[in-house]
Amino acid sequence: MQVRFRKVKKEVRILGVDDAPFSRGQKTCKIYGVIYRGATYPDGVVSTTIQVDGNDSTRKLISLVQQTKHHDQLRLVMTGGITMAGFNIINLKTFFEKTHIPIISVIRKQPNLKKFESAVRSFRSKTKLKAYQDSGPISKFNGILYQSCGIAKKDAEAVLKLTCIHAKIPEPLRVAHLIAGGVTTGESRGRA
C-alpha cells in the first residue's frame, strides 16, 4: 500500500526527525522532530529518547507521531538515515504499516552496503537485521540519496524538490538537525 498524493501541496505537513549528538558510553540519546509546512515554516517541535545502539527507534518514532497534537495533519515523516543513536535502526516498513504515514529516509552520502550489513550482523539482532532488510533500495534524485516506504517514487521526489531550498537536505531535516545539536551541546555544529 502506498499513499498517493494527488498533488504535493506547497504546505504539506512533514515531520523531520534527527538524533542528537551523543558520547561514547552514553546509554540513551534524544531525537528531535520539527513539524514543517512544506519548506515554508515550522509549526512545532517534538522529542523523545531512544537507546544508543538499541532496538526501540521504530516504536518510539511511531509513538512520537501518534501522540503529537499535529498527528491528524501529518502527511509525511523524514528521517536523517535509517539509523539513529548509533545502530538503532528504523524499520521503515513497520513504521508505515503502523501509522499509515509515508516515510522518507534521507542519506547524506553513499553508504558502503557490505560494511553496513556486516556491522548490522555483528549485533546478532534479528530486529536490526529485519529493519535493515525492510528498508528497501536506495534511490537518487538531484544528488539526494533516499529510501522510502508508503509513497510513490514520483511523489517522494516531488516532496524532496519542494523541501530542499537551502541545501541538499530537506528543510524539515535541516532544522531538526540544528535543533538537536543546539539543544544538546549548546550550539549546533556540522553540516545542516
* pLDDT tens string 145-155: 999 999 999 99
The answer to whether position 173 is within a domain reads yes
The answer to whether position 191 is within a domain reads no
Q: Is the pLDDT of residue 9 over 80?
A: yes
The answer to whether position 145 is within a domain reads yes
The answer to whether position 46 is within a domain reads yes
pLDDT in tens, 57-100: 999 999 999 999 999 999 999 999 999 999 999 999 999 999 99
3 state SS of 15: strand
Q: Is the pLDDT of residue 55 over 70?
A: yes
The answer to whether position 188 is within a domain reads no
The answer to whether position 25 is within a domain reads yes
The answer to whether position 6 is within a domain reads no
Q: What is the pTM of this model?
A: 0.93
- Contact partners, residue 115, CB within 8 Å, separation at least 6: none
pLDDT in tens, 34-47: 999 988 889 999 99
Computed over every residue of the chain, the mean pLDDT equals: 92
Mean pLDDT of 87-114: 94
**Which domain CATH number covers 74?**
3.30.2170.10
Instruction: Note down the domain range covering 144.
Output: 13-181
Q: Which backbone phi and psi does 46 adopt, to 5 degrees?
A: -130, 160
C-alpha cell at position 2: 502506498
What pLDDT was estimated at residue 174? 94
Write the DSSP string, 46-79.
EEEEEETT-S-HHHHHHHHHHHSTTGGGEEEEEE
Number of H helices, E strands in the chain: 6, 9
What pLDDT was estimated at residue 191? 57
C-alpha cell at position 94: 513497520
Please give the tally of structural domains in the chain.
Answer: 1
Do residues 165 and 140 lie in contact, with contact meaning Cβ atoms separated by under 8 Å? no
Kindly indicate the confidence band of residue 29, based on its pLDDT and cuts at 50, 70 and 90.
very high
The answer to whether position 1 is within a domain reads no
